[in-house]
Structure formats: C-alpha cells, structure tokens
Homo-oligomer: A and B are copies of this chain.
Amino acid sequence: MKLAGRFALVALCVAILALPAFAADPLPSWNDGKARQSIIAFVEKVTKSGSPDFVPPEARIATFDQDGTLWAEQPMYFQFFFALDRVKALAPQHPEWKEKEPFASLLKGDVKGALAGGERAMLEIVMATHTGNTTEEFEQIVKDWIATAKHPVTKRLYTGMIYQPMLELLAYLRANGFNTYIVSGGGIEFMRPWTETVYGIPPEQVIGSSIKTKFELRDGKPVLVRLPEINFIDDKEGKPVAINQHIGRRPIAAFGNSDGDLQMLQWTTAGSGARFALLVHHTDAEREWAYDRTSSIGRLDKALDEAQAKGWTVVDMKNDWKIIYPAGKR
C-alpha cells in the first residue's frame, strides 16, 4: 500500500471511529433525577469539542474515594475485617497475644473491647497484620483473602458489595476519555491487587494510605520489605496532597461520601473551568445502611453542608439508585 493511500484510509478510519456510538443508556442503574442529569450534563459539556467548557482528554482526571463511595463500609471498613482475619491467622505464631491487648480481646471475638484502646489499638492491629513481609507476599495474602472472605451481614464476597451504579459511572467516564483514579484512606497495597479486575482501575491509578517499605537484597534477590511505620495517611487534608504527589494535575471531577473527602472536593472544584463534585449519601437502610452526620464510620456532616451551599451533586442512594450491588455477584 502506498503511503498516501494508507494515510487516507487511516484518516477515514479515524473519522468513522469518532462517530457517536449507538447510545445505549450508559447509566442503567440510575433513576432519572437530578444526580443522573448533573453527571450527564457535565460529561457532555467537557467532552464537546468547540464548547467553552471543553477539556482535553489528558486533563479529564476523575478521583473517587473508595470506602462508602465505590463499595460499602459498614459496620466497619472492610480492610479492618481483613486485619481481624489476619490476627486469627497469625495467632499461632504469637502466643503472647493471648494475654496482650488489643489482640486478646480480638481473639475472643470482642472487637469492641479491642477497640477500647482507640487509635493506638487500631494502629497496633494494622501494623501487626500488614507489615513484616515483602510487597509480593502481602499482595498474595490480599488476593487470597479477597477471593474468599465474606461479609458478616450480607454473606457476600466483599467485591460483591461494590456499588453497581458507581461501576457504570466509572465505565461511562472512561468511555468519555476520563482517567479514573481511586483516592482512598484505605491501604494502597490492600487495594491494588484487585481494583483492576473489580473496577477496571489499574494499580498506577490507585492512591491510598501507605506504610514505609525498604529495599533489600536477600540472597542477591531484591525485595521490598513492609515496615511497621506509617508513610502517609490519605484522608482529609491528605487527599489533595496525595493527588498532587501522584497525579501532578488537579482533577476536574471528584466523588466521595464523607467528611474525609471534603478537602478533595474543595481542591477539585477550586480549579478553573468546568468542575464537578458528587457525594454519595447513604439513605437506604433497607438495601444497604442509612447514616450520615453522627456515624463514626463515614461521617457525612460538614461536607453535606458544603455540598448544599455550593450546589454539589448529592446522590440519595434510596431514590437515585435502582439497585445497589451487582446482580448475582456473591
């Protein structure tokens, strides 16, 4: 094929591929209402070339909180269930835990008693269960757990408790040229082993809290060892800091559900041009959980006030979502 001929064909192909696809409903699990309409209006205006609100694809950055935004978070953050299962699995190697809090209470099944020690107890549990191994060993432990562990209330796999409407939203944004990032208070290495399969979000687009790691040669083989020392807490004021550190661009859209996401939404909407902020409001005690201003997990108080004052989109789970979890995924 001659060069000019190939160029003409390529140009034709590009033109054909750019035709609008036959528009099946991109958000079938969303009821028609203000939330759904505001999402679609935003995506259409930033992707319409020639529009004053047009944003080039490389700047279409959307950041999503995870716990309570992409999957459920009650009655405790799911990563904490992982930590409890790890305490049980590791107990035979730690006979001293039988006498030592917070482990002694945990091993008796008394989570409340274990957490009476507050943040320090929580930190001790996380460090004992998340560190001391290599990054590769930890990845395998997470993969094994997430494939089999079930939620104590719903009896579903935890990955069966992701929100179907949010899955559709992620896919819709990506189909419109967005890069979708997770920006979670959860552990970065707790999420990365499965977010690509479950959400379509690859490891390099997952941002989270982290512990320090250390490079070592073991018998000439390099490993990264997970140290019992916090590196970064990706919550509240930490979220814009981590977004800047990892992405180096300000998102144009941000999605959260709690006061821990407020600063991410402030940072996102303070940029110039079209911006979008959304909060998932847990209003569905029947199909999921209902909680907001007084919940210790996923408290939504200041951010709800600010959403109302600034006109951010608030999803009413009970009325905006046709279903909560993916059908049949257990």
Binding site for B on A (CB under 8 A): 1, 3, 6, 9-10, 12-13, 16-17, 19, 22, 58, 135, 179, 188-189, 192, 202-204, 206, 210, 213-215, 217, 221-222, 224, 231, 237-238, 240-241, 244-249, 263, 266-267, 270
Contacts and interface: CB of A to CB of B under 8 A. Distances in A.
Contact of A248 (B3, B12, B204, B267): B204
Among A189, A206, A222, A247: residue with most chain B CB under 10 A: A222
Contacts of A12: 13
A203 B248 contact: yes
A271 to B, nearest CB: 10
A263 B213 CA distance: 14
Query: Taking the full assembly, how many copies of this chain does it contain?
Result: 2
9 contacts: A1-B19, A9-B16, A188-B248, A204-B249, A213-B245, A215-B263, A221-B270, A224-B241, A224-B244
A206 B3 CA distance: 35
Nearest to A2: B22
Contact of A244 (B19, B213, B241, B249): B213
Contacts of A222: 240, 263, 266-267, 270
Contacts of A58: 202
Given A19-B6, A270-B221, A246 B204 contact: yes
- Which among A188, A231, A245, A246 has the highest number of chain B CB atoms within 10 Å? A245
Contacts of A245: 188, 210, 213, 231
A213 B241 contact: yes
A253 to B, nearest CB: 16
A289 to B, nearest CB: 29
A228 to B, nearest CB: 16
Contacts of A244: 135, 213, 224
Nearest to A266: B222
B248 A246 contact: no
Q: Which 10 A-B pairs have the closest CB atoms?
A: A203-B248, A13-B13, A215-B237, A192-B248, A204-B247, A222-B266, A215-B240, A222-B267, A222-B270, A9-B16
A212 B247 CA distance: 15
A192 B245 CA distance: 11
Nearest to A270: B222
A231 B224 CA distance: 19
A244 B240 CA distance: 20
Most buried by B among A19, A204, A238: A204
A275 to B, nearest CB: 12
A24 to B, nearest CB: 10
Contact of A237 (B3, B135, B203, B214): B214
A174 to B, nearest CB: 14
A13 B221 CA distance: 45
Contacts of A224: 240-241, 244
Nearest to A61: B204
A266 to B, nearest CB: 5
